[in-house]
Structure 1
Amino acid sequence: MRHVGDAVVLRMLPDGTVAAREVSDGEQTTPTVVAAAELPGLVRHLEAHRPRWVWDCTTRWYPGLLRAGVRVERCWDLRLVHALLRDSPLVDGPVDRGAEAEAWDELRPVAADDAALFDDSGPSHLDPLAEWRRQRACLDAATHGGLRLLVSAESSGALVAAELTHAGLPWRADVHDAVLTGLLGPRPPHGQRPAHLEHLAGQVRDALDAPALNPDSQPALLAALRSAGLDVADTRTHTLERLDHRVVPPLLEYKGLARLLSTNGWQWSDTWVRGGRFRPEYLVAGVVTGRWASRGGGALTVPAPVRQAVVADGGHRFVVADAAQLEPRVLAGMSGDTAMAAAARAGDLYEGMVAAGAVATRAEAKLGVLGAMYGGTRGESGRMVRRLAVRYPRAFAFVEAAARAGERGEVVRTFLGRGSPAPRAELTEEAGRAWGRFTRNFVVQGTAAEWALVWLALLRNRLWRLGDDGDRAELVMFLHDEVLVHAPERLVDETVRATREAADEATRLLFGAGPTGSDIDSPVDVPLDVRVVRSWADAQ
């Protein structure tokens, strides 16, 4: 290639070589065909011209490029965008699904494989150029400009996900071991309980007069509780907390520590921590609302006690940032409720509602807002919902409308255009109410996920501009509305500034003036809680 167009479309050929085709203003060149091992060099050369890389699935291409030391700025993930456009109600009218539509529907992300540079087992029969053209035609037919922002952010998120795995979360195995030893006792031989856990098990047996009880067996534990005269339907924590019996304290402690041992114990560390890094795989849009999921090690549920093991490297600090009260704030923004947006600008949205005279206490405000978003329309929650609906009519009517649409079996959408799944069968009255609770929350949780995705994409690019290849601030963890950046000490202040600026820009892009077709005229604040720490645990 002598020059680079707006995009470069990559395609793995049946013989394992790669075709790279330049496309610019509708014109295309004859593809350059290279061996897979030569692709990183070609991408490195072409990336200087900032093309958009178009490929079937980021998980198939980008990890290998990162291992070869190549980063790209922009991509178009055809798999992710295909799913978005297929399900979005904003793609208006009859749109050509294409001859390969079912194959694109079935395409799945590939697992990371350090043994090969690129995954060559994928669908080489799929035509990425034809699918890209079809997807752009779908966007041209869309009735809402926000969908283009979502497509861009989703693809950027796929790049971030691969980079998170590649960078890894700094993890001190010695600190992790010390935490476990302090809570559970020394690491026992395989198949045995740690000493403190065994001590608690003995207390539970004594309290229930069940010397042979295995407290890890839910049927046996339930039977022992009932034999002790306790009327319980299950062994869940909230059920046990209501009991007045001496077994409750040791049993609750046992359950909590046993859960820690099984999810983040020594075996977890042996499996998932390598070279001082925890490297899970992130699944972009792994949840129907657009939230991410993870594969390997439970990256999105790292419990508080073991966060002590997340310690920054020497000469580095973590910048930990999370968005305050994100879901109710995006509800105010997407509904255009000026009164609720004003309460949000008070810093603490719930305290802002109290100051405005909507309710008497912060607890009442939170109960009412959560009830509106999650369908808590009975009892005290329902009373607060009805009271707040008078003061914040647009916000509360917005989620009510989404719930009613769900009860009728209709598809609802997020602010930028992600569509909810349709019910798989005709809804009964009871099933309709349950589906309405789902769609009520879908519009809010999905829009919060969109805000976070845009924030993440903007922050990624800002961080890249701060340092050089040997001294950069890196995103190392993302949990829905929280990020961890591993930053050299000299870049900490700039990293904090970049994190806040990216959040402000994400809010403006979504709600500042509203995407095309929106009537939003009430920008809403999404403040960040930002802390600079040596250990993740210090940010709690």
Structure 2
Amino acid sequence: MFLAVSSPSREIVDAVALGSDGTERGRQRIPAAGFAQWAASREREHPRWLWDDTQRWYPALLAAGVRIERCVDLRLSRAILRSAPAARGSELAAAPRDRWDARSVAVDEAPDALFSLVEPEPDDDPFEEFARQRAAIAASSEPGRLGLLTAADSVGALVAAELRFAGLPWDAERHDRILTELLGARVPGGRPARMEALVAQIRSALDDPEVNPDSAPTLLKSLQRAGLRVGSTSRWELAGIDHPVVAPLTAYKKLARLYTANGWAWLDEWVRDGRFRGVYVPAGVVTGRWASLGGGALQLPKQVRGAVVADPGWKLVVADAAQLEPRVLAAMSGDAAMARAGRAHDLYQGMVDAGAVGTRSQAKYGMLGAIYGGTTGESGRMRPRIEKAFPRAMAFVEDAARAGERGEIVRTWLGRGSPPGAASGWDETRSDAERDRSRSGQRAWGRFTRNFIVQGTAAEWALCWMGSVRRLLWTLGGGDEAAAPFTARPHLVFFLHDELIVHAPEELAEATADALREAAVEAGRILFGTAPVEFPLSVAIVDSYADAK
């Protein structure tokens, strides 16, 4: 059963019940103030909710203690079907852009969106949009894959809202101690003591008492006046220079990144009641990977992970997928040799054992070079050996690169389409310099498309993994389903591309670890069927994120 909901005004929610065949089975009009209670009663029927935007509807339901099992996020699904090569001939793909193509609502607006003081425009009919999307999927050349992709993105949207609602356990006092130890004592309105001491060393080494290391333009000029032949202030350019300023400046930059990204101001803004609630944006990147709208949820540096601490009586169960992207490539390409190498927990060591390369480091850099199109350094040197050992995998990404250079659209395993590239037609009226720039742009786009198919499919695997984890965790503990969803059961609290953290009652930590592993196997089976590719996890049960290996 489907339940389509929309809001014609801030006081009213319209709901349409649909059968599995899409036929209407009744309409209701519910006061917005009573929507959460009504939704809780209907959730017992296990419907699939149809709504325009999960970030608009779900946070308010979570705040009322209502967990949703399944939904269709129509805006996320619309974005997929607009660009999917398999659906390019559909009426939906060819239709003019409309409100369904609009970006998702800002997450900070979402909890109050249904009850805003400003009268909203009436919603477009989700029932009609769902019918358009079903027709586009049915008429596509890959209805099974596109149906799975829209479902995966939709469950990802539910997870994103739940991650923010539950929050990552965070000890503010530990965070303060970490900052004080690394940066020095907090100075209101000024730099911490250790950073200020490094500034003095930088000024002395450059003989420039006014230079501000936080200003790249003025710092660059000061470096050049001191005789350093540099074109930027990046640590990569400074690394090979022998000058007294390099050591304090490198140390300052490292501390400044921590101070700016996760210092006391970040702590004050983002940690409340023992939780960090980052803002995730599902499918925020063209590959389908998530982005972060605020708080840096997708980049927690190692220095502050000691502040991520489980509640008393609970554990953090930390899992990350080993060498996810190369394994995805092995499955997509059907490269049996790479699949055999991946049967070891460490795929790179498996490549060494198979005789493809001499060392694990060579395997890592060679494989990453193959996926990202590296042609220089260790990646470039190892590439011929990787191509010889794994010809089907390398041909697979090379085909994607050549398609990108021709300006063609490539697709992930489930059918998400890449942005169109520039056409590569030869124009003899252009100058040699213009043609060289064109070729350079084409090669760059080819590197993008070869990575797009792998990175995007890895994102699809991660979505399937999260969806399976979410379902399996709900079967562990909790008792009464009407209880608050995240107070007794294991639940997801952090996601980073190929890594998950679950906050679990101590007595359920081992069962949670088993669920994470089972879900990884299931995700591989959902995407690739019986392909002989394994997706092993490293799983740690810890009190602090810093203790996870």
Of the structure 1 ranges 178-187 and 225-234, higher mean CA displacement relative to structure 2 is found in 225-234
Asked if structure 2 preserves the Cα contact closer than 8 Å seen for 1:512 and 1:524, the reply is no
Residue 240 (structure 1) shift:
1.2
* Counterpart residue number, 1:14: 9
Asked if structure 2 preserves the Cα contact closer than 8 Å seen for 1:343 and 1:356, the reply is yes
Counterpart code for 2:342? A
Q: Distance in 2 between matches of 1:115 and 1:151?
A: 24
* Counterpart residue number, 2:389: 391
Change (3 A) 1:8 1:127: same
Equivalent residues in 2 for 1:386-535 (5 A)? Answer: 386-423=384-421, 428-468=438-478, 469=483, 470-513=487-530, 522-535=531-544
* Counterpart residue number, 1:518: none
Equivalent residues in 2 for 1:209-224 (5 A)? Answer: 209-224=207-222
Asked if structure 1 preserves the Cα contact closer than 8 Å seen for 2:352 and 2:359, the reply is yes
Change (3 A) 1:8 1:379: same
Change (3 A) 1:128 1:532: same
Residue 98 (structure 1) shift:
8.2
* Counterpart residue number, 1:149: 148
Residue 265 (structure 1) shift:
0.6
* Counterpart residue number, 2:79: 83
Asked if structure 2 preserves the Cα contact closer than 8 Å seen for 1:197 and 1:254, the reply is yes
1:392-440 Cα shifts (integer Å, max 9, x gaps): 1110000000000000000000011111011367672221111111001
Counterpart code for 2:220? L
Counterpart code for 2:331? G
Change (3 A) 1:351 1:172: same
Q: Distance in 2 between matches of 1:295 and 1:123?
A: 25
Asked if structure 2 preserves the Cα contact closer than 8 Å seen for 1:92 and 1:143, the reply is no
SS in 2 for 1:10: strand
Q: Distance in 1 between matches of 2:361 and 2:535?
A: 20
Asked if structure 2 preserves the Cα contact closer than 8 Å seen for 1:59 and 1:112, the reply is no
* Counterpart residue number, 2:432: none
Residue 100 (structure 1) shift:
7.2
* Counterpart residue number, 1:186: 185
Of the structure 1 ranges 202-211 and 96-105, higher mean CA displacement relative to structure 2 is found in 96-105
Pairing partner for 2:263 from 259, 262, 265? 265
1:169 corresponds to 2:179: no
Q: Distance in 2 between matches of 1:379 and 1:200?
A: 33
Counterpart code for 1:253? A
* Counterpart residue number, 1:337: 335
Q: Distance in 1 between matches of 2:82 and 2:131?
A: 14
* Counterpart residue number, 1:3: none
* Counterpart residue number, 1:516: none
Q: Distance in 2 between matches of 1:222 and 1:50?
A: 61
Change (3 A) 1:425 1:408: closer
Counterpart code for 2:98? E
Change (3 A) 1:68 1:460: same
Counterpart code for 1:527? P
SS in 2 for 1:76: strand
Counterpart code for 1:447? T
* Counterpart residue number, 1:275: 273
Counterpart code for 1:526? F
Change (3 A) 1:378 1:304: closer
Q: Distance in 2 between matches of 1:260 and 1:379?
A: 30
Of the structure 1 ranges 450-459 and 522-531, higher mean CA displacement relative to structure 2 is found in 522-531
Asked if structure 1 preserves the Cα contact closer than 8 Å seen for 2:406 and 2:423, the reply is no
Change (3 A) 1:26 1:108: closer
* Counterpart residue number, 1:295: 293
Q: Distance in 1 between matches of 2:507 and 2:297?
A: 28
Q: Distance in 2 between matches of 1:114 and 1:187?
A: 34
Q: Distance in 1 between matches of 2:403 and 2:327?
A: 22
Q: Distance in 2 between matches of 1:252 and 1:26?
A: 61
Q: Distance in 1 between matches of 2:209 and 2:301?
A: 32
1:31 corresponds to 2:42: no
1:246-286 Cα shifts (integer Å, max 9, x gaps): 22111111001011111111111111111111112210000
Change (3 A) 1:313 1:432: same
Equivalent residues in 2 for 1:51-66 (5 A)? Answer: 51-66=47-62
Residue 368 (structure 1) shift:
1.4
Equivalent residues in 2 for 1:99-248 (5 A)? Answer: 101-113=97-109, 116=112, 118=114, 124-144=122-142, 145-190=144-189, 192-248=190-246
Flag structure 2 segments of 5+ consecutive residues without an equivalent. Answer: 426-437
Q: Distance in 2 between matches of 1:57 and 1:98?
A: 22
1:147-193 Cα shifts (integer Å, max 9, x gaps): 22111111000000000010011111111110010111111022x11
Q: Distance in 2 between matches of 1:312 and 1:123?
A: 43
Q: Distance in 2 between matches of 1:118 and 1:98?
A: 31
Q: How many residues align?
A: 526
Q: Distance in 2 between matches of 1:44 and 1:330?
A: 38
Q: Distance in 2 between matches of 1:26 and 1:438?
A: 39
Residue 210 (structure 1) shift:
1.5
TM-score, length basis structure 1: 0.94
Flag structure 1 segments of 5+ consecutive residues without an equivalent. Answer: 1-5, 514-521
1:201-256 Cα shifts (integer Å, max 9, x gaps): 11111112222221112122112222222111111011111111222111111001
Pairing partner for 2:362 from 361, 364, 370? 364
Asked if structure 2 preserves the Cα contact closer than 8 Å seen for 1:37 and 1:117, the reply is no
Change (3 A) 1:176 1:53: same
SS in 2 for 1:90: helix
Counterpart code for 2:182? L
Percent of aligned pairs with the same residue? Answer: 55
SS in 2 for 1:360: coil
Q: Distance in 2 between matches of 1:26 and 1:117?
A: 28
Asked if structure 1 preserves the Cα contact closer than 8 Å seen for 2:11 and 2:115, the reply is no
Asked if structure 1 preserves the Cα contact closer than 8 Å seen for 2:490 and 2:502, the reply is yes
Q: Distance in 1 between matches of 2:188 and 2:389?
A: 61
Q: Distance in 1 between matches of 2:113 and 2:290?
A: 25
Change (3 A) 1:119 1:461: farther
SS in 2 for 1:299: coil
Residue 115 (structure 1) shift:
6.8
Change (3 A) 1:66 1:410: same
SS in 1 for 2:312: coil
